[in-house]
Amino acid sequence: MNAPPGVYQGAANVIAALMLLLEFGMLRQALVRDQVRLYAAQSALISVLAVVIAADRNLPELYALAALSAALKVGAVPYVLRRLLGPPAVEEARGVAGSHTLNPASAVLACIVMAAFGFFSFGSLHIQSAEAPAFALSVAGAMVFVAFVLMIIRRDVASQAIGFFSLENAISLASLVLAAELPLLLETAFLFDLLLAVVVFAMLIRAHHARAESLSTADLSRLRG
Amino acid sequence: MLGVILAVLIVPLATGIACFLVPFRVAAPLTVASGVACFGLVLALAPGAARGGTPTYLSYLRADALSCVFLLATGFLYAAVSVYAAGYLRGRTDRYARRFYLGFNVFAWAMLAAPLMSSLALLWIAIEVTTVVSALLVAIETELPGKEGDGAAEASWKYVLIASAGLGLGLLATIFAYYAGAQVLGAHSNLAIAPLIAAGSRLPKTPVELAFLLAVLGYGTKVGLAPVHTWLPDAHSEAPTPVSALLSGALLATSFYAILRFYQVAAAALGSGFPRDTLLAFGVVSLLLASLYVFGQRDVKRLLAYSSIEHMGILAIGVSFGAPAALGGVLLHVMAHAAAKGNAFMGAGVFTVKYRTKRMPAMRDGLRLLPWSGPLFLLSVLALSAFPPFGIFRSEFEIVAGGLGSGSYAAAAVLVILVTVAFFGLVTTVTGVLLRPAPARSVAAETPPAESVPARSEAVARQTARADRTEAAGGTGVERVAGGDGGALATAAPALASQAPAGRALEPGEPSAWMVIPVLAGLAVLVLLGVHPPGELTNLITQAAAQLRGAP
Q: Which residue in A has a C-alpha nearest to residue B128's C-alpha?
A: A193
Q: Looking at the complex, report in whole angstroms how far the Cα of residue A87 sits from the nearest Cα belonging to chain B.
A: 24
The nearest CA of chain B is from the CA of A129 a distance in Å of 10
In a domain, B502, yes or no: no
Give the percent of chain A with pLDDT over 90.
Answer: 30
B404 within a domain of the structure (yes/no): yes
Q: Rounded to a whole number, what is the distance in Å from the CA of A178 to chain B's nearest CA?
A: 6
**Closest to B399 (Cα-Cα) out of B311, B329, B309, B324:** B329
Count of domains forming chain B? 1
Report yes or no on B498 lying in a domain: no
User: What is the pLDDT, as a whole number, of residue B435?
Assistant: 84
Report whether B257 contacts B174 (CB < 8 A): no
Cα dihedral sign for B290, B400, B47, B264?
A: positive
Which DSSP letter does residue B490 get? Answer: E
For chain B, the maximum distance between any two Cα atoms, rounded to a whole number of angstroms, is: 77
Query: How far A78 CA lies from chain B's nearest CA (Å)?
Result: 18
Using CA atoms of A190, A191, A195, A201 in order, give the dihedral in degrees to the nearest 10: 60
Residue type, B459: A
Helix, strand, or coil (residue B353): helix
- Say whether B349 sits in a helix, a strand or coil: helix
The more confident residue out of B491 and A11 is A11
Distance, CA of A167 to chain centre: 5
The residue range of the domain holding B82 is 2-436+513-548
Task: Tally the residues of chain B.
Answer: 552
pLDDT of amino acid B486: 31
Amino acid at A216: S
ipTM: 0.90
- Residue B474 CB burial class (10 angstroms; 0-12, 13-18, ≥19): exposed
Which residues have CB under 8 Å from B444's CB, separation 6+?
Answer: B355, B356, B461, B496, B497, B499, B500, B506
pLDDT number for residue B482: 32
* Alpha-carbon gap, residue A72 to A187, rounded angstroms: 13
Chain A partners within 8 Å of B158 (Cβ): 220, 223, 225
Classify residue B244: in a domain, yes or no.
Answer: yes
Contact A211 B207 (CB under 8 A): no
- CB pair distance less than 8 Å for B164 and A175: no
B160–A203 CB contact, under 8 Å: no
With CB atoms and an 8 Å threshold, state whether B168 touches A167.
yes
Examine residue B28 and state whether it is found in any structural domain, yes or no: yes
Task: Give pLDDT tens digits along chain B (552 positions).
Answer: 889 999 999 999 999 999 999 888 899 999 999 999 999 999 999 999 998 877 788 788 999 999 999 999 999 999 999 999 999 998 788 888 999 999 999 999 999 999 999 999 999 999 999 999 999 999 888 776 666 677 888 898 899 999 999 999 999 999 999 999 999 998 778 899 999 999 988 999 999 999 999 999 999 999 999 999 999 999 999 999 999 999 999 999 999 999 999 999 999 999 989 999 999 999 999 999 999 999 888 899 999 999 999 999 999 999 999 999 999 999 999 999 999 999 999 999 999 998 888 888 888 888 889 999 999 999 999 999 999 999 999 999 999 999 999 999 999 999 999 999 999 999 988 888 888 887 765 444 444 443 344 444 444 444 444 444 333 333 333 333 333 333 333 333 333 333 334 445 778 888 889 999 999 999 999 999 999 999 999 999 999 999 999 876
Rounded Cα gap, residues B186 and B183, in angstroms: 6
Nearest residue of A to residue B175, measured between CA atoms? A175
pLDDT at A225 (0 to 100):
65
Q: Residue A178: which of B121, B128, B175 has the nearest Cβ?
A: B175
pLDDT band at residue A89 under the 50/70/90 scheme = low
Contact of B127 with chain A, judged by CB distance below 8 Å, is answered with no
Contact A222 B125 (CB under 8 A): no
| pLDDT digits 0-9 by tens, A163-180 | 999 999 999 999 888 888
Q: Is A164 on the interface with B (CB under 8 A)?
A: yes
Instruction: Give B478 or A138, the one with higher predicted confidence.
Output: A138
Q: What is the pLDDT of residue B441?
A: 56
With a CB cutoff of 8 Å and minimum separation 6, the contacts of B178 are: A178, A179, A182, B120, B121, B189, B191
**Is residue B507 in a domain?**
no
Short-list A101, A103, A85, CA closest to A34: A85
Query: Is there a contact between B172 and A132 if contact means CB atoms under 8 Å apart?
Result: no
B176 touches chain A (CB under 8 A): yes
Average pLDDT of chain A? 83
